[in-house]
Structures are given as C-alpha cells and as structure tokens.
C-alpha cells in the first residue's frame, strides 16, 4: 500500500472480528514501532503484547474508554531507567508516540484496524495497569493500542485545514476549537 494512502486510510477502529492476530504479525508491529526516531537514540520503550483472554478481559474492564473487543492489544510503555534525565526526560513521550503511529500505520497496511487509548499523563487512566501487568514503578504505560481485523469500514481522510498552516511567520487567526468532551474524562 502506498504510504500516503495508508496515512489517510488509518482510522480509529472500534469494531473487531474475533479472528486472532498471529504472534508474528504482532512482532512485526513492534518492529515497525522501534524504527521510529528517539531523542538522542535513547529507545526508551517497552511493549507488552496482550493476547491472553483473561488478561484482555481484565484490561478491558479496568480501562476508561477501553470497552472494545479486540483480539490483541499492545501496551506501549516508557521505562524511566532508559529515558533521558533532567529537563529532556519527557522526550520519551514523543518517542513513544512516534512509535505508536508506526504501529497504527503498519497495522493499516496489513489489513488490521487499531485504536489508540491514551493513558499517561492521566494517572487514574494508567494506575490500574500496574496491578494487571506487575509493572515496576519506573515503567509508565503511555497508551494501549487495540489491534484486530476490522468489522467496520471507514473512509480514508485527512483533516487538513489550511487555516492551520502559516508561511514563515505566524499571524493571529480565529480558530474554531473542537467541542471538548472532557466532562466524561
């Protein structure tokens, strides 16, 4: 699949077939993730692949906004022993986010659907995962990525808006913010 087509085709998929995703495919997704750039090449990431039914059920029951029946999930974590320290410490978030986007695109190109459930920095979102996965405190779950064969179709799209582009100089413009449904969070 052409790269631009794949970027537009990637959509958040919430309905999945129960066809399992094989281990090799899941490993390929992590290989794609680890090809992302990281600040000073720190590679501050770790990945927990979830395929076990009991663990999936527990994860689903504990996640806010995680009530989806995907046959697999990848928990993308930053390990603070691997991340940089000092003022550059939080670059791990950007590194792991780039890795996640690689997972989403690689999955799309392989006919899979994905959903990115953001956890960190919302402590109540990610705290339950310490118990589910026996995580040590230096490991911070940034997001859960659900993975499976899609049972819904969505149109490719870019949400391009020319009002968000500037050439060489910023200028004040009125933007319409998206409705913020933060009340539920």
- With contact defined as beta carbons under 8 Å apart, do 73 and 45 qualify? no
182 secondary structure, DSSP code: -
- Residue 82 engages a second copy in binding (rule: CB under 8 A): yes
> 44 to 63, contacts with a second copy by CB under 8 A?
45-52, 55
Minimum distance, C-beta of residue 76 to a second copy, in the bound complex (Å): 10
Residue from 38, 167, 161, 166 nearest 90 by CA: 38
Minimum distance, C-beta of residue 4 to a second copy, in the bound complex (Å): 6
Minimum distance, C-beta of residue 16 to a second copy, in the bound complex (Å): 17
> 125 to 164, contacts with a second copy by CB under 8 A?
133-136, 139, 142-143, 157-161, 164
Residue where the block lists tokens 């956890």? 119
- With contact defined as beta carbons under 8 Å apart, do 119 and 159 qualify? no
Residue 90 CB-half CA count within 13 A? 3
The stretch among 14-22, 147-155, 177-185 that binds a second copy (CB under 8 A) is: 177-185
Q: Which is nearer to a second copy, 62 or 98 (CB)?
A: 98
Among 81, 127, 131, 154, binds a second copy (CB under 8 A): 81
- Residue 106 engages a second copy in binding (rule: CB under 8 A): yes
Query: Mind giving me the DSSP string for 21-60?
Result: PPHHHHHHHHHHHTTS--GGG---EEEEEE--HHHHHHHH
Give whole-number Cα distances, 73 to 28, 62, 124, 134, in Å. Answer: 14, 14, 19, 17
- Residue 108 engages a second copy in binding (rule: CB under 8 A): yes
The stretch among 14-22, 146-154, 167-175 that binds a second copy (CB under 8 A) is: 167-175
Among 17, 19, 27, 61, binds a second copy (CB under 8 A): 27
Residue 11 CB-half CA count within 13 A? 17
- Residue 90 engages a second copy in binding (rule: CB under 8 A): yes
Q: Which is nearer to a second copy, 67 or 161 (CB)?
A: 161
- Residue 97 engages a second copy in binding (rule: CB under 8 A): yes
């Amino acid at each position: 699949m052409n790269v631009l087509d794949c970027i537009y085709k990637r959509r958040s998929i919430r309905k999945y077939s129960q066809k399992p995703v094989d281990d090799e495919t899941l490993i390929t997704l992590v290989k794609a993730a680890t090809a992302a750039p990281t600040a000073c090449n720190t590679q501050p990431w770790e990945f927990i692949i979830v395929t076990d039914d009991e663990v999936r059920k527990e994860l689903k029951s504990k996640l806010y906004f995680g009530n989806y029946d995907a046959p697999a999930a990848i928990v993308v974590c930053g390990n603070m022993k691997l991340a940089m320290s000092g003022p550059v410490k939080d670059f791990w978030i950007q590194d792991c986010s780039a890795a996640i986007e690689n997972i989403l695109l690689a999955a799309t190109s392989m006919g899979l659907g994905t959903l990115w459930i953001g956890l960190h920095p919302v402590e109540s979102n990610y705290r339950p995962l310490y118990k589910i996965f026996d995580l040590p405190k230096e490991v911070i779950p940034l997001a859960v990525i659900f993975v499976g064969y899609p049972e819904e179709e969505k149109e490719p799209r870019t949400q391009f808006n020319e009002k968000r582009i500037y050439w060489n100089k910023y200028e004040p413009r009125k933007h319409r913010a998206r409705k913020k449904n933060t009340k539920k969070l």
